Chains A and B, each alone.
Chain A
């Protein structure tokens, strides 16, 4: 059975268990170093000067006062910038959307507020910051265009598809006609505010100039291969001249998928000054690139009297920058989640004077599923059906968009197990019918969905004579637990204790792997590590079988069991040999293997692959004062095999917490006259704090999936998808107020 993790060689001693993070000790002692914490001899420090206008041009820039500060090495602007690649294509990183990427200090043109206009490089951080405050910039400003509502008339279908992002499918059936005929209809406009990722670690890059003229670059990125590609293209370097590392990432959530401008500036300054340079952005500057751009969505649902969906229309208009056509999958989910023969979906963009938006945890799904799952709750109310019943009535075992069955879909178990744990059967369906003291109580639910993906990925493994194993590849552990699950997989494949395994990640000298994103890392890197370890297992086995009087003589590899540092014959543990003994006896210093894992093409031909969830939320609302507390969440997840119940649970907790943020708190507020996000700090951009988070219960339902040998489907995104809808639906149940515009702040409850 595919979901029973089996290497064919070892036994499950660690996989599937609650193993504590192997990088835990480094993280709780402060020894784990992040990109802006690596040092070098003679390190110089860069501080970015940011534009105050959103659109226009720099007419003059005065750096004299800054340059006069003792300790300032250089002030780099578009006027004195060293030469870099001129072709905009050179700036396109691995995950760039179509368009011309932003080029810092390229010329006098300003295309978003907070755009870097100068880099002050100094001997120390304090000096750079002080000198940066002395740079004066004069602009010729044009009226910024940042209001998506005012510009929605200019919305366009992106002319070029973003790689990996499916545009809305062709319509199926006739949604308009079916909606017109449907006896029960629901229509609404839905939106989520602009949100910024705000990982706790601000973006930083440290470029170390080595004695031989090569560079070692520590970059805040979710995959160092992307950093390397970008630097080689932009600065005309060969890959062997730039080693990129990022062993730890202080939170990414998508903000670290693309190389950001601090990397460009640090390398620019390092080349120019021929010395090591670090550039760390301020928290405020974290509003000057990538964000979850709000999608203005309309949904129309038509159903028969029994709640069977007759028509689904879902249209979205989303903001992008003036220079790139960022795209995400916002509306397609509505055609996948439910059985419906008449579906019409559309997705358009509007160009705004903002930085290019970017992927933020479950990009597209957070917005789109919020909308469809809110509309489904409205449909439940309109039809008088229980929200779960409505979803079961329209349940589908196949993806009608692609005309293929799902590889696995245990969403029904999510409904039943989630409902059971939550106590859903005790819900009184009428809005405003449940109370606790002065608070109205609301119970709401929603489904979640995210694509289950695997990317081509390599991994390496080295077994040394002392029985220690080192594994790794270039992907990053962005807090997801990748170090730990890869260690577990290696341990079980070779039957070694976890303490004998060292996992290395985030280094371009390791086997190549994609950026960590899209919830694909466990499947991709996990499978690659398993394959590499299995190759090592075969190598050891061969050596063992060749030993004089080998206890494994005439045994096939398939019958070899790797356990407790030994190779045993299945069913006959008396016949065994120690791995270290094999290496010693054969005089083997080390065994090495690098393997590549690719998605199973046959599987992809036959099946569609998604993770699913059912989220149940309890809110308590003080209606008079508009205070909402999310007192309880049960998130039931169907995501295939769970490699580590401890870190997996944390992934879901994290998604849920960010979903609570989407639902209640997070909103970057634009002043459209200035084209500027005004609450650009953590005091005024509210992410959930300790006090906002009550009980969160995570359930992993059994699900067998065969898309990859591990049976995993990925967990990074699914925890957030649908969470905001469940909360919004609970708020409706509590108050009778349907709020389709997130976040649900006090003014909306009062209004």
Chain B
């Protein structure tokens, strides 16, 4: 046993280390705090959205060690030591030369109008980067299927796929 959190009282807290958008942070969390609630409620990283809180919409998608997951279903305490990238950290992830301040997928989303209300957008963006990291989806059908875990009620789907296709064609940027 590595850790005993003690009695399940209101103030049980466990120290963890997370690298969030490149910044290493020591944080005390309750075992029941999800990664999503930690980001939104404690760290003021509200870019990551809570759409359903049950893994049924994808709005909370973040990258954990480069892999996309639903942060609403991840207990923060279990991600001790992980590198987390949220929408706020996507631009820095691109690390491109020049004046661009956005990740290519963010630029493509703007260009293709791949969002309307913007609430599912951070999840769609992180999911797109996760998809490109995975490298399995190539065709339009495959992109659609691999993005199906991200619902968009405004119906920007076709524009999102256009944006992803364009960035994939330019060469995936991590």
- Answer yes or no: A and B touching, Cβ < 8 Å: yes
Spell out A's residues near B (CB within 8 Å): 20-21, 23-34, 37, 39, 69-71, 124-127, 130, 197-202, 248-253, 280, 282-283, 478-481, 646-647, 649-651, 653-658, 681-683, 687-691, 693, 695-696
Q: Please, which residues of chain B bring their CB within 8 A of the CB of A32?
A: 118
**B54 / chain A contacts, CB cutoff of 8 Å:** 283, 681-683
Interface positions of B from 81 to 113, Cβ below 8 Å from A: 86-88, 90-91, 102, 106, 109-111, 113
Q: Does B35 contact A (CB under 8 A)?
A: no
Bound: A23/B117 CA distance, A: 10
Q: B122: which A residues are within 8 A, CB to CB?
A: 30
Given the known A-B contacts A251-B153, A479-B116, are A200 and B109 also in contact in the complex, defined by CB atoms under 8 Å? no
Instruction: Determine if A249 and B117 form an interchain contact, defined as CB atoms under 8 angstroms apart.
Output: yes
Chain B interface residue count, CB cutoff 8 Å, equals: 61
Q: Which A residue sits closest to B127, measured CB to CB?
A: A690
Q: Which of A481, A647, A651, A690 contacts B147 (CB 8 A)?
A: A690
> Closest residue to B109 on the A side, CB-wise?
A28
* In the bound complex, CA of A693 to CA of B143 (Å): 12
Q: Do the beta carbons of A200 and B158 come within 8 Å of each other?
A: no
Inter-chain CA distance A691–B147, complex, in Å, is: 8
Residues on B with C-beta less than 8 A from A37 are 40, 46
Tell me the bound Cα distance from A283 to B117 in angstroms.
Answer: 17
Contacts A479-B154, A653-B155, A653-B158 given: A201-B113 contact, CB under 8 Å? no
Query: Closest Cβ of chain B: how far from A279's Cβ, in Å?
Result: 14
In whole Å, how far is A261's beta carbon from the nearest beta carbon of chain B? 19
Dominant secondary structure at the A interface? loop
Question: In the assembly, what is the distance between CA of A32 and CA of B117, in Å?
Answer: 10
In the complex, the answer to whether A126 meets B53 with C-beta atoms within 8 Å is: no
From B51, B59, B150, contact of A690 by CB (8 A): B150
Query: Cβ of A29 and Cβ of B57 under 8 Å apart?
Result: no
What B residues does A650 contact at CB under 8 A? 113, 116, 154, 156, 159
A27/B148 in contact, CB under 8 A: no
- The one of A33, A125, A690 in contact with B148, judged by C-beta atoms closer than 8 angstroms, is A690
A612, chain B: closest CB distance, angstroms: 20
- Given B30, B102, B118, B154, which contacts A248 in the complex, CB threshold below 8 Å? B118
Say whether B157 contacts A688, CB under 8 Å: yes
Could you say which of A27, A681, A695 contacts B52, with CB atoms under 8 Å apart? A681
Q: Do the beta carbons of A654 and B46 come within 8 Å of each other?
A: no
Whole-angstrom distance from the CB of B140 to the nearest CB of chain A? 9
Q: Are A27 and B154 in contact (CB under 8 A)?
A: no
Residues of B within 8 A of A248 (CB): 117-118
Query: Given the complex of chains A and B, what is the CA–CA distance between A682 and B50 in angstroms?
Result: 13
Q: B40, A200: Cβ atoms under 8 Å?
A: no
Option from A21, A479, A682 in Cβ contact (under 8 Å) with B57: A682
Expressed in whole angstroms, the minimum distance between the Cβ of A404 and any Cβ of chain B is 34
Interface string of B30-54 (1 = CB under 8 A from A): 1011000100110011111111111
Contact yes or no, B44 A25, CB < 8 A = no
| Contact between chains at B41 and A124 (CB < 8 Å) | yes
Complex formed: what's the CA distance from A199 to B120 in Å?
10
| Distance from A366 Cβ to chain B, minimum over Cβ atoms (Å) | 14
The answer to whether B44 and A39 have CB atoms under 8 Å apart is yes
User: Which residues of the other chain, B, contact A124 by a CB distance below 8 angstroms?
Assistant: 41
